[in-house]
Structures are given as C-alpha cells and as structure tokens.
C-alpha cells in the first residue's frame, strides 16, 4: 500500500479509500500479477541490477505491500538487512509472519513532517508508489530522512497519461523525466540517472488493458490466473526483451542523498 496523502485538489479520504480498496486486500490476481506479468518483472530486474552495483548493507523498501520486492532483494543480497515500510498494519503483520527475516514497519511516509523511523539506510527503494501520492515532494523528503548521507535511491514510476485502469488502482499523477529530476533535486537527492523505458511493448500492454478496463481488472487483478492469463504473461515477458531502454512509459530514477 502507498502513503496517505492530501491536497486541495484531491479529497484525502477518497484517495485513501481508493488505495486501501485495491492494496489493502490480498487479492490472488495481484499476487499472480507480481510473479508473472512482464512489467513488474522488468521493474524488479532493474531495481536489483542497480542495487547490485553497490551492494548496500541496509535496504528499505517504501510502500512494500506484501513484501515481494523485499523478498527478491533478500534473495539477491543475502548479506544485506532488508526492511519494508507500509501504511497497512494488516499487511505488515502478514509480512512479519511470512518473512520473519525482515524488519517490517508501519508508517505513513506521505507527510514530510512524519518523524523518521529511528534509523537510516544505505539504500532506499520505492517502486510504483509515488504516482499514488498527492505530494511527491513530501514523500521524497520522507524518503531522504531515512537515507544515510551518500545513500542511493532507486525509484520506479510511470510517465504519460493516467489511464482508467491506473485510476482504479490509485494513480494520481505520472511524471516526465524532467519533472522527476526537479523533484529529486528539491528534496535533497542528487539525480544520477532518470530515464524512460518500455517502448513499445510496455506501452502497448497498457493501451490494450484500457480498451476494456472492466475485463482487464477482472482477468488480471481479481482472480488467480488461468491458462489464458498465463499465456499472455509469458508472451509479454518475451516481448519485453525487445523494449527500448530509452523510451516508453516506464520511468526509473537513481539518485544520491546529498544533504
């Protein structure tokens, strides 16, 4: 689940309800989406690749959800201490039971005034979270408060139009590389690389899903995947190998804590 946010333009309770409705429930389709769909697998591979360049001793995942990304970080960096932070107390409790090797913390990081968690980390990861919040500056300031000086940030989010399926899972805004660079610079991070990727197949998969949002959500979020969904996932994973690393609706950023 993502951080709770508010702004004059968006009703706080409506934002929270949208995010809680989708992420607060352990839906079978969401679990399959993470494990099988090309887009999350691509994001995981990118995050792990960036972390492996530095081999940090401590890593925190902001908006950790069910702990799946933390689990993959732990498998790839077994000597690192891995922590996950999420707004959902129920989800964190489930993570503590399923993944006892991790440090699991309940916190609302959507407000820059939120006090730090009592410690800092060598690497901060946040994947597909910032598009859910109204105040990206506040969120990135909170992320900075959890980072050691010189720590790395690895972030993934989306560029381009917020489409219907994305609205239904709580996306509020997407970011250009220029906008993300400015946000990072204003919040105590030095951007080292901000880039788009995923063209054409990531973009095409989003376009196709939004031709019939009801059917897409029913097939790929609300129920366990069957043969049809598994075949689509396998085909997309193959197609994603031919995506551009410079163009597309997927956005990544790597930055350094400097202040």
Confidence band, pLDDT 50/70/90 cuts, at residue 45: very high
Contact 194, 253 (CB under 8 A): yes
Buried b (16+ CB within 10 A) or exposed e, 185-197: eebbbebeebbbb
In angstroms, the CA 58 to CA 226 distance is 38
Its domain, for residue 215, covers: 12-257
- Reported confidence tier of residue 28, pLDDT bands at 50, 70, 90: low
The rounded distance, in Å, linking the Cα atoms of 49 and 108 is: 28
Q: Is residue 139 part of a domain?
A: yes
80-133 pLDDT, tens per residue?
Answer: 999 999 988 999 999 999 999 999 999 887 655 555 678 899 999 999 999 999
Distance CA 100, CA 234 (A): 31
Q: Are 153 and 254 in contact (CB under 8 A)?
A: yes
Let me know if residue 54 belongs to a domain.
Answer: yes
User: What is the torsional sign of CA 127, 131, 133, 135?
Assistant: positive
Q: The domain that contains 141 carries what CATH number?
A: 3.40.50.150
In a domain, 7, yes or no: no
Look at the chain and report how many structural domains it folds into.
1
**And the tokens for 63?**
């908006």
Distance CA 193, CA 159 (A): 15
Half-sphere exposure of 12 (CA within 13 A, CB side): 9
Does residue 86 lie within any of the structural domains?
Answer: yes
Structural domain includes residue 111: yes
Look over the chain and give the mean of its residue pLDDT values, rounded to a whole number.
88
Other Cβ atoms closer than 10 A to 199: 17
Whether residue 4 is contained in a domain is answered as no
E-strand spans in the chain?
A: 58-62, 81-86, 103-106, 121-127, 147-158, 189-197, 250-257
Joined tokens for residue 195: 């880039």
Could you tell me if residue 2 is inside a domain?
no
Backbone φ and ψ of 79, nearest 5° = -85, -10
Q: Does any domain span residue 1?
A: no
Q: Which of 68-77, 110-119, 148-157 has the lowest mean pLDDT?
A: 110-119
């Amino acid at each position: 689940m993502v951080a709770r946010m508010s702004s004059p333009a968006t009703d706080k309770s409506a934002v929270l309800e949208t995010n809680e409705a989708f992420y607060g429930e352990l839906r079978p389709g969401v679990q399959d989406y993470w494990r099988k769909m090309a887009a999350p697998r691509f994001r995981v591979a990118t995050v792990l690749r960036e972390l492996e360049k530095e081999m940090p001793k401590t890593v925190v995942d902001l908006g950790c959800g069910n702990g799946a990304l933390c689990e993959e970080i732990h498998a790839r960096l077994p000597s690192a201490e891995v922590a996950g932070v999420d707004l959902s107390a129920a989800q964190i409790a489930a993570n503590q039971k399923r993944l006892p090797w991790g440090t699991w913390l309940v916190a609302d990081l959507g407000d820059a005034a939120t006090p730090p968690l009592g410690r800092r980390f060598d690497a901060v990861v946040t994947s597909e979270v910032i598009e859910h919040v109204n105040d990206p500056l506040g969120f990135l300031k909170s992320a900075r408060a959890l980072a050691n000086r010189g720590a790395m940030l690895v972030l993934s989010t989306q560029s381009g139009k917020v489409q219907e399926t994305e609205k239904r899972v709580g996306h509020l805004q997407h970011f250009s590389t220029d906008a993300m660079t400015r946000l990072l610079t204003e919040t105590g991070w030095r951007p080292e690389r901000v880039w788009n990727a995923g063209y054409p197949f990531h973009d095409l998969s989003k376009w196709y899903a939004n031709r019939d949002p009801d059917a897409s959500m029913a097939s790929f979020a609300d129920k366990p995947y069957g043969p049809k969904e598994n075949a689509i996932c396998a085909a997309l994973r193959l197609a994603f190998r031919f995506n551009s690393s410079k163009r597309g609706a997927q956005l990544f950023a790597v930055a350094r804590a400097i202040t």
